[in-house]
Amino acid sequence: MGNRLSKIVTRTGDDGSTGLADGTRVTKDSPRIEALGSVDELNCALGVLLAQELPTPDARACLREVQQDLFDLGGELATPGLGLIKDARIVWLEQRVELFNAPLPPLREFVLPGGSRAAAFCHLARATCRRAERRCWALARSETVGTALPQYLNRLSDLLFVLARALAGAEGSTEVLWQRDRSAAGTPSGEGGTES
């Protein structure tokens, strides 16, 4: 196979446009590029997570597989009309959610991002995943997007939430739960909190 990226500096994007895989030129702030960039950012966030010490090899193998899927997802976004993400990959994610969630204690309140270093990076990846999903839905309002694509991101954010809990538990960290009644206990309102 030849070199896929033989020239890095092309100057073709200096006018604020970029090329899709089919040769079409679009603006760098178009909904398609926003979605593609968010998926790339998500993959980078997973790379940062994978650079940490992870307490379970199963989590590492799962995340490596997800990174491969995200490249397929990016390829689908870069090539309008191409369908690379199949329903089987969504089923695979759902199975991993069940697998990692099964040993976890029941959750009775929202979890604040954190718990351990790896878990915190996993929560950051989860939030990035939610943004990528929103960008894909925004794109779908004006262009055709395969239905499996945003569904994959929806399931992936569920998986990352469960993995964050699993990583925190495996590292012996205590999850910090949202304190619903903290204002009544004397904590000034407006301190802390997170978007759910």
Domain spans of the chain?
24-170
pLDDT tens, position by position, for the chain (196 residues)? 344 555 555 554 555 665 565 667 666 668 888 999 999 999 999 999 999 989 888 999 999 999 999 999 998 998 887 788 899 999 999 999 999 999 887 877 677 777 788 999 999 999 999 999 999 999 999 998 888 999 999 999 999 999 999 998 776 666 666 667 776 555 544 444 444 4
| Secondary structure of residue 65 in the 3-state scheme | helix
Task: Show Cβ contacts of residue 32 under 8 Å, excluding neighbours closer than 6 positions.
Answer: 20, 26, 77, 80, 139, 143
Q: What is the value of pTM for the model shown?
A: 0.80
Identity (one letter) of the amino acid at 69?
D
Assigned CATH topology for domain 24-170: Hypothetical Protein Ta1238; Chain: A; (1.20.1200)
Instruction: Report in angstroms the alpha-carbon separations of 54 from 58, 101, 102, 116, 164.
Output: 9, 17, 19, 11, 11
Pairing of strands 17-19, 25-27: antiparallel
DSSP E strands in the chain: the ranges are 17-19, 25-27
Q: Are 49 and 63 in contact (CB under 8 A)?
A: yes
Phi and psi for 27 in degrees, rounded to 5?
Answer: -70, 150
